[in-house]
């Protein structure tokens, strides 16, 4: 990607700190056809932040409906529109602009790539609830019809090994509790299980997986760079995962936007993000973030006093409440 288009606007002090980390954007594109990565909404948006010294990895899901500046004109839309408007470069630029980051690398996958990696590793182990098992059937039936697959549903709830299409259905599920907050947690669970399985695999096995998958993904990383990361995978530790914004509310906007996730407020949430990822206690956001934060408040009327969720509180109580309202 052209670094001049990535909206890296942090000051020298912050850049010196972030040089100790490798930040990679991960996008899941809602494309049923394989290998089309130029556009499309990014229904899964994550940031993997790797501490280069300790090899500790933190994984952040950025909620796709987050109401943020999605282009160079600072138009406020749902964040997943940034990929549709500007492809991978536009999506990374939006993350950098809104979150004061220096992301220069990305990986984008579609439905087929998710299924392939899980199958190539021999499946992953998930603990599936009764509601999730039922909802997964709906997604598997839809994918069989649209994509021409012949996947089968899980036999029922419980701890079990799932294949690629079953793992994908689990990732897409937002009706079994927690809405999109629950769905992003399921996505991070699948990533965590893939990492566990990959760490237990031999290097020749990982090399075969990478050789098979590399033509079917879109990434700024070369195959040799990915192989280099794979060679040291046992040194990396997935320390924690969270959803962002940490403090938020929702608001129904006019026109075609519908319901959006509102950071309450953006400046506070960016401060908390830098504290979470980089252990910075007194981070001062850029003027760009301050300006976007004011614009979000002006458009939505929502401030810190309107916060309804704080620090990714997806809990069993959320699951029960959502199930009762469906």
pLDDT, tens only, 80-99 = 999 999 999 999 999 999 99
pLDDT for 255 equals: 87
Residue 216 corresponds to which tokens in the numbers above? 């079917």
Average of per-residue pLDDT across 243-260: 94
What would the pLDDT profile of 26-49 be if each residue is shown by its tens digit?
A: 999 886 666 678 777 788 999 999
pLDDT over 70 at 323, yes or no: no
pLDDT at 320 over 60: no
Q: What is the mean pLDDT of the chain?
A: 91
* pLDDT of 324 higher than 50: no
If phi over 0 gives left and psi between -120 and 50 gives alpha, with beta otherwise, what is residue 6? alpha
Single out the residue of 129, 108, 128, 118 nearest to residue 165, CA to CA. 118
The percent of residues above 70 in pLDDT, for the chain, comes to 94
Question: What pLDDT does 325 receive?
Answer: 34
Locate the DSSP E strands across the chain. Answer: 21-29, 42-51, 56-62, 67-69, 76-78, 105-109, 124-128, 158-162, 218-219, 237-244, 247-253, 258-263, 309-310
pLDDT at site 2: 92
CA Rg, the chain, in Å? 19
User: Which residues are CB-neighbours of 9 under 8 A, at least 6 positions away?
Assistant: 96, 97, 100, 286, 288
Measured between alpha carbons, how far is 192 from 24 in angstroms, rounded to an integer? 16
Q: Is the confidence at residue 272, as pLDDT, over 50?
A: yes
Backbone angles phi, psi at 214, to 5 degrees: -55, -40
* Percentage of residues of the chain with pLDDT beyond 90: 79
**pTM, two decimal places:** 0.92
Residue 160 dihedral angles phi and psi, to the nearest 5°: -160, 160
Strands 237-244 and 258-263: unpaired
Q: Where is 195: in which H helix or E strand?
A: helix 179-200
Rounded to whole angstroms, the Cα distance separating 308 from 41 reads 26
Closest C-alpha among 271, 267, 261 to residue 293 = 267
Q: Over the stretch 203-226, which tens digit does the pLDDT of each residue have?
A: 999 999 999 899 889 999 998 999
Task: Report d(CA 93, CA 5) in Å as an integer.
Answer: 7
**CA separation for the pair 90, 96 (Å, rounded):** 10
């Amino acid at each position: 990607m052209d670094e001049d288009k990535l909206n890296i606007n942090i000051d020298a002090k912050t850049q010196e700190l972030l040089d100790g980390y490798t930040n990679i954007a991960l996008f899941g594109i809602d494309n049923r056809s394989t290998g089309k990565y130029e556009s499309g909404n990014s229904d899964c948006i994550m940031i993997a932040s790797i501490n280069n010294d300790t090899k500790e990895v933190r994984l952040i899901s950025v909620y796709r409906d987050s109401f943020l500046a999605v282009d160079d004109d600072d138009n406020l839309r749902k964040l997943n529109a940034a990929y549709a408007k500007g492809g991978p470069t536009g999506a990374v630029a939006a993350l950098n602009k809104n979150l004061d980051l220096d992301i220069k690398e990305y990986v984008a996958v579609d439905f087929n790539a998710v299924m392939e990696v899980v199958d190539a590793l021999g499946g992953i182990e998930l603990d599936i609830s009764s509601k999730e098992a039922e909802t997964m059937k709906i997604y598997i039936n839809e994918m069989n019809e649209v994509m021409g697959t012949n996947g089968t549903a899980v036999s029922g709830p419980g701890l079990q090994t799932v294949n690629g299409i079953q793992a994908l259905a689990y990732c897409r599920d937002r009706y079994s509790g927690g809405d999109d907050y629950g769905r992003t947690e399921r996505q991070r669970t699948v990533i965590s299980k893939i990492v566990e399985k990959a760490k237990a695999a031999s290097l020749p096995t990982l090399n075969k997986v990478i050789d098979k998958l590399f033509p079917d993904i879109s990434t700024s990383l070369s195959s040799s760079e990915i192989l280099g990361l794979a060679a040291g995978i046992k040194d990396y530790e997935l320390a924690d995962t969270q959803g962002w914004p940490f403090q938020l509310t929702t608001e129904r906007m006019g026109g075609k936007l519908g319901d959006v996730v509102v950071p309450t407020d953006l400046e506070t949430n960016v401060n908390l993000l830098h504290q979470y990822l980089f252990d910075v206690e007194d981070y001062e956001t850029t003027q760009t973030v301050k300006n976007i934060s004011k614009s979000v408040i002006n458009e939505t009327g929502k401030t810190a006093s309107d916060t309804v969720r704080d620090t990714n509180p997806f809990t069993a109580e959320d699951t029960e409440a959502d199930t009762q309202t469906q």
